[in-house]
Amino acid sequence: MIVLHHAWDSLQSFKVRMCLAEIGVPWEGRALSLTDFDHLDPAYLALNPDGLVPALETVEGVLTESSTINAYLDEAFNSSRLQPDDAFARARMRWWCQHEDTVVHPAIRPPTFNLYIKPLLAGLSPEALENLISRHPQPERAATYRAAASAPLDRAAVVLAVRSLDRTMSRIGRTVREGGWLAADAFSLADIAMAAMVERLEMLALGSLWERHSSARAWAERVARRPSFMRAREAGSAGKLSPVDRELVRTLVTEAFE
């Protein structure tokens, strides 16, 4: 059985869990805690020297990078049914997968850290926070993390990220204006890649951004209704108390479009 090393709160791990659910491949999960720096443990670095999640163990070896993993899963276990037959549509699929990796994922990081992780860290006592950071296996990066954890909210970074995500929504809207999917008429790896954005914006209370783009919002709603989307989430996550300050989020979104 394949083994997925992942984190429940990792954007890129969500993509792979959704792909596994969509295809129906049996898998064993090894969940890592990013806030406890499990991904930098020597045992995991031996598996993936980049210290990133997810990583997929197969009988042939280890695969990293979520888009590569999803393409492998579709080709190895699904006869490539999540990839269009038409060459142009297949190229569009790859474009969207790359767009998530190179544009969406970097844009998601500032809101995730400032709106979600920083409030969690703020809830710790100084002793508990220092104990957590002291477990970081790389002292130079631990110092950077300590400074970021105690720094004020980076409003400018969040505002710029919101504008970037809004531009992506505009692209989605133009692509699916007729009610289709991102790469072709059929659901594909492109939609799975971008579904991670749908899930994360909901977690960060930024789902209102979809209201500016009706066609993109309809696409996001179709994605979220797929059973694989729900199975990719951590069981019981819907009932978790969110640390996100929704009033602050509304203020930042307003600033982004003033």
115-161 pLDDT per residue, tens: 999 998 888 888 888 888 887 777 777 788 888 888 899 999 999 99
For residues 66 and 135, state if they share a domain: no
CB 82 within 8 A of CB 187: yes
Q: If you average pLDDT over every residue of the chain, what do you get?
A: 93
As for how many domains the chain has, the answer is 2
Predicted TM-score (pTM) of this structure: 0.93
Look at residue 240 in the predicted model and tell me its pLDDT.
Answer: 66
For residues 69 and 139, state if they share a domain: no
Look at residue 146 in the predicted model and tell me its pLDDT.
Answer: 84
**Backbone φ and ψ of 55, nearest 5°:** -140, 140
Instruction: Let me know if residue 82 belongs to a domain.
Output: no
For residues 122 and 161, state if they share a domain: yes
CATH number at residue 134: 1.20.1050.10
Give the 3-state DSSP-derived string for the chain, with helices as H, strands as E and coil as C: CEEEEECCCCHHHHHHHHHHHHHCCCEEEEECCCCCCHHHCHHHHHHCCCCCCCEEECCCCEEECHHHHHHHHHHHHCCCCCCCCCHHHHHHHHHHHHHHHHHHHHHHHHHHHHHHHHHHHHCCCHHHHHHHHHCCCCHHHHHHHHHHHHCCCCHHHHHHHHHHHHHHHHHHHHHCCCCCCCCCCCCCHHHHHHHHHHHHHHHCCCHHHHHHCHHHHHHHHHHHHCHHHHHCCCCCHHHCCCCCCHHHHHHHHHHHCC
For residues 230 and 119, state if they share a domain: yes
CATH number at residue 60: 3.40.30.10
Final residue in a domain of this structure, among 34, 53, 77: 77
Look at residue 239 in the predicted model and tell me its pLDDT.
Answer: 52
Query: Partners of 55 in the beta sheet?
Result: 5, 64
| DSSP strand pairing (27-31 vs 62-64) | unpaired
Portion of the chain with pLDDT greater than 90, in percent: 77
Is the pLDDT confidence value at 216 over 70? yes
- Identify the band that residue 172 occupies on the pLDDT scale cut at 50, 70 and 90: very high
Is the pLDDT confidence value at 182 over 80? yes
Show the domain range for 10.
2-77
For residues 62 and 99, state if they share a domain: no
Question: Which of 53-57, 69-73, 85-89, 234-238 has the lowest average pLDDT?
Answer: 234-238
